[in-house]
Amino acid sequence: MIDTSFVIAAYNEEETIEKTLLALKMNERYKRSEIIVVNDGSKDQTKVVAEKHADQVISYSINKGKGHAMLLGWQRAKGEYIVCLDADLEESASEAFALIEPIRQTRADMTISIINPGKKSGMGVVKRRVQAIVYEKTGVKLEAPLSGQRAFHRKWLSVLLTKSYNGFGIETQMTIDLLKAGASCLEIPTTMKHREMGRDIKGFYHRLKQWIDIEKQLRGVQS
């Protein structure tokens, strides 16, 4: 019987995903776990690398966005606990196991990792916008509503799998959906690290895309 399903959406992550997957599999707590990678239309060798280590690799021929990818991964998950992770965590992915214990101990229905921003992080504009939206819609104040590192009990799939999620809007909307459905949420400080986009044109474009996806999601507009 599978205890925990790690679901990872990946797009062009050939340089980081192997270390991420190995960090999970080499952890002593990995027993009775599975890894599901959804290769979201990658143009590099992400699929090939993932197939070496993941239990399931699902591939799209074109990029459909993180929301579509995560939903498909959740549909395939067999574990009692489902952990959502980014592909670029590398060695720090081993901390993901800390997200499971509060749910196992029934102290929370969903956990979210708080990752301290690094020197190349953005200005926090999108984060503050999402914090305000989540509070407005649920009355809950969260430190890291955009974090892609989170876990939940599979009973909440009955809520999530009835929804449609739009690209980078998935974290915002699933947080709102679960909180409104009565799920309790616990944020956990970790030292997990992933690639920061910086404050240059590339970083600005990424955050703009994230913001647009979130606004589309909240307005029910599908890509």
How many folded domains does the chain comprise? 1
Let me know if residue 111 belongs to a domain.
yes
pLDDT top residue among 210 and 66: 66
Per-residue pLDDT tens over the stretch 22-61:
999 999 999 999 999 999 999 999 999 999 999 999 999 9
- Tell whether 186 is covered by a domain: yes
Residue type, 119: K
Residue 198 within a domain = yes
Task: Tell me, letter by letter, the H, E, C secondary structure of the chain.
Answer: CCCEEEEEEECCCCCCHHHHHHHHHCCHHHCCEEEEEEEECCCCCHHHHHHHHCCEEEEECCCCCHHHHHHHHHHHCCCCEEEEEECCCHHHHHHHHHHCHHHHCCCCCEEEEEECCCCCCCCCHHHHHHHHHHHHHHCCCCCCCCCCCEEEEHHHHHHHCCCCCCHHHHHHHHHHHHHHCCCCEEEEEECCCCCCCCCCHHHHHHHHHHHHHHHHHHCCCCC
pLDDT in tens, 148-181: 999 999 999 999 999 888 777 889 999 999 999 9
Q: Residue 67: give the domain boundaries.
A: 4-218
**pLDDT for residue 193 is more than 70:** yes
Residue 82 has pLDDT above 50, yes or no: yes
CATH of the domain at 175: 3.90.550.10
Q: What is the pTM of this model?
A: 0.88
Residue 223 lies in a domain: no
Q: Is residue 191 part of a domain?
A: yes
| pLDDT at residue 221 tops 90 | no
